[in-house]
Structure 1
Amino acid sequence: MSEPTLESIGDYNTLKGEKKRIVWAVIIAGIIIGVIYSISYKVFDDSEESIKTQDEIIVVPMSQSIPVR
C-alpha cells in the first residue's frame, strides 16, 4: 500500500461534501469552546480571593541542598 499522490487525491483543490462539513464543524466547535472558556474565566475569576505572597527565592545555596534518598 503506497501513500496517495496529489493527483490521486480527489479533493486536492477544494473540499467538497462531508469533509467540508467536518472541517467547518471542527472550526465552529473550537470557536464555541473558546467563547465558553472566556465567559467562564470572566465569571469565575478568583483573583480577589487569592492569597498574595511576597516571598521570593533569590539565591539557593549549593551547600544546603536536599539529600537524595
Structure 2
Amino acid sequence: MQDNEPTLSSIEDYDTLKGSKKKVVWTVIISGLLLGAIFVAAKMYYGSTEDTIVVNESIGKVPVK
C-alpha cells in the first residue's frame, strides 16, 4: 500500500519556489500592490469631504415599528 501524500524529500521546490509557481506568486503580489495603489489613488481623488452635512442634534430614541 502506497501513500499518495507528498513528503519533504519528494517536493521539488521545498526550499525555494521555481518555475511557474514562482511566477504565480509574483503575479499575485504585483496584482495586489497595483490594486492597492488604484484604491489609494481613487480615495485621494474622490475622497473629498467638502460636501458633508454637519448635524448638531443628537438622536435620542429611534422608533421601532
TM-score normalised by the chain length of structure 1: 0.69
SS at match of 1:8: coil
SS at match of 2:50: coil
Read off the aligned partner of 1:53 and give its amino acid letter: V
Tell me the residue number matched to 1:26: 28
Tell me the residue number matched to 1:63: none
> RMSD of the alignment, in Å?
2.3
**Aligned pairs for 1:9-20 within 5 A:** 9-20=11-22
TM-score normalised by the chain length of structure 2: 0.72
Tell me the residue number matched to 1:3: 5
**Displacement over 4 Å in runs of 4+:** 55-58
Uncovered stretches (5+) of structure 2, i.e. residues with no partner: none
Compared CA separation, residues 3 and 57, structure 1 to 2 (3 A): farther
Compared CA separation, residues 46 and 12, structure 1 to 2 (3 A): same
Residue identity (%) = 41
